[in-house]
Structure 1
Amino acid sequence: MATQVAHLDFERAIADVEEQINALRTLARERGLDVSSEVVALERKLDDLKQDTFANLSPIERVQVARHPKRPYSMDYLEMVFTDFVELHGDRQYRDDEAIVGGWARLDGEPVMVIGHQKGRDMKENVLRNFGMPHPEGYRKALRLMKLADKFHRPLITLIDTMGAYPGLGAEERGQGEAIARNLREMAALGTPSVAVVIGEGGSGGALAIGVADRVLMLENSIYSVISPEGCAAILWKDAAHRDKAAQAMKITAGDLKGLGVIDEVITEPAGGAHGNWEETAAALKEALVRHVGELRLLSRDALRRARWDKYMGMGQVRAAR
C-alpha cells in the first residue's frame, strides 16, 4: 500500500490539508483530545480538493502523474490483481532482460499470460531494470511468452510503462528495431485474446512492441505517445522548455486518445491518482481486465484476427497525395 508519497507542485494544497489532518491526529493521541469533528471536516475538504485538482489537470501535469515515482508498476499489479504468478525468464538467445517481466498467472481464477515493463524504485533497482527501457532480448522474451500463450490459447495481458526502448549501441547492434518490428507483426497475428493496458508511460515503439492487442486500455492519468513532450519540444522548438506546448499539441492523454479511437477504454483512477490509492486503482484495473477478457474469450481464433485487423486498419485517415 502506498502511504508515503512525494507531492507534485500542483498537489501542494492537497499536501497542506493532509499535514493538518496528521497534526490533529497526533495532537489527539498525545493529549487525549476529541478532534473527530475537525478531522471529518478536513477529510471532506481533502476529498473535494483532490476531485477538483485531478479533474482539471493539464496534459503536462498528467505526464508528471504518469511518471510519479510512487505510481504502481507492473510487479505491483501482479501482486494486487493476479494470483499464482510464475515468472519466466530469458529470450533463449542472449540473456534475461529485467526491464520486461512476464509469466503465467491467474486472473479471477483463470490462467493468463502477463507481460509488462518494469521500472525501479531506487537507483540500484533502476540500474537492474534499466529504468524500464528494454533491450532487444526483452522484446524477444516477450515474444516467446506471447507464443506460449498462443500455443495454449490462454489470454495475453500486457502492462505498458516505459519511456521507450533502450537506444544504446549494444541494443542497436543486437537488433532493437528488428525485435520491435517482429513483435508488431507477431502480435497482430496471434490467435488468442489480448488486452494491453497503459499503466504509466507509453513511449513510442518501446511501448507498441507489447501493445498491438485486441483491446487497448489506459489508466486515466497515463500517457501514450510517439515521443516524449521534451523530445518533441527539442525537435520543433529547439528547446525542451516548451514541453507544455508539445504535450498539448500531441494529444497524448487517455481522454484524447479515446476520442481519437486509438484506445478502447479509459480506466478511472481514484481522486488523487493511482499513486495515492493503489488498492482502488488495482480493483478498477481488475474489473476492466476481467470484463474485456471475458468478452474476447467468446470469439474464435479467426474472428479475433479479423476484428484485430479491422481495428488497426480503421485508425487514422488516408489522404490522396496532391
Structure 2
Amino acid sequence: MARKATFFGFEPWKSYIPKWFPDRKCRVITRNPELMLRRGWPFRLLLSPRQEVYVWGFKHPPFLKKFCKLFGIPFYHVEDGFVRSVSLGAHKAAPASLIIDSRTTHYDARNPSDLERTLQTHDFAADKALMDRVDRCTRTLLDLRVSKYNLGKSVVIESILGSKTRKRVLVVGQVETDAAIAFGCDTPMTNNDLVRLAALENPDAQIIYKPHPEVLHGTRAGVSDPSDVADICTILKEDVTPADALDGADHVYTITSLMGFEALLRGIPVTCIGLPFYAGWGATDDRQTSPRRTRRLSAREIFAAAYLLHSRYFDPETGDPTNFETVVRRLSELRNVTPLQQPQ
C-alpha cells in the first residue's frame, strides 16, 4: 500500500508532484496559512495512517514541523536542485532536480542538513564508482556549460570587458531578500557591500559585478542599486551565462551563490561571506565558519554529495524521473532551441 504524502507550499508545481513522487499517494495543500487552518490542517494529518509531510523550503507555518515531530509524522524539506531549468522559477519553469532533506534545507547554515551530514561522514575515497562518475559528470557539465538556470545570453566575455590586462575578480550578485542569504549568512550584506569588499581587498584588480538573473529579468526586486557602485566595477547589465561570466575570472566573491561552487569546479578561488553548502570544508576562503564542518573536502567530493547522492532528477519536459547525465544534456539541448522567456 502506497504511503500518503501531503505537500505544503508546492502550489506552482502541483501537476508535477505525482510524477516526482510516483510511489506516494499525493495531496497538495494551499500555501495560505489561514485557509489551511480553516480546512482543518494540520490536524487532518492524524486521520491518515502511514502519513508523510513535504514542505517547499520554509514555505510552511512554523508550527507544522513541531506538530509532525510531536506525532511522529515524517517531515521533509524540498528545494530546487543545482541544475534546474532553462527558464526561471518565476516564469513557472518546473525544476529538473530536487533536493529532499529530512532535517532542513541545504542552504540553512544554522542547522545540520542531511547533505551536511553526508559531507561530514561519507567515505569518498572508498567509493571509487561514485568518484569515477563525478569525473564524468563534471566534465559533461563544464563541456556543455550548463548551470542552475540556463537562460542567459551566451557571449565572448572580452566583447564586453575588453582585453584582459590585469586580475579579474567576479562578484556574483544574489536576490538580497532570498532565503539562501537569510538562512545562510550571519552578517548583514548586500550585493553592493560585496562589490565594495572585493574592490577593497583587490585594489589593482578589475572588478566585474554580475547581478542575479531574476533581478535583471525583473521577476525579483533588488535591495541595493548597482549604479551606486558603478564607479568601482564593471556591471554586466545583460543576463550573461554563468559559464561566460566565469571565463577569465581569477577570483570569485559571493555571499552564498551556487555560482561560487561552479567557479570551484573550474579551479577558480572563491571567497564566501556566508556559509553555503560547499563552504566550511577547506575548498573556499570563508568569512563565516561552522564548528560542525570539520573535514577538508575537495570540490569533487562536495559535488559527489550534493549533485549525485542528494539530488533527484526529472526530465525537463515530461517530469519523469531520470538521472543527472540525462538532465544536463536535455537542458543543453533545450537551451539551444528555446527562445528566452521574458517576464509578462
TM-score category by the smaller chain? under 0.3
TM-score by length of 2: 0.26
TM-score by length of 1: 0.27
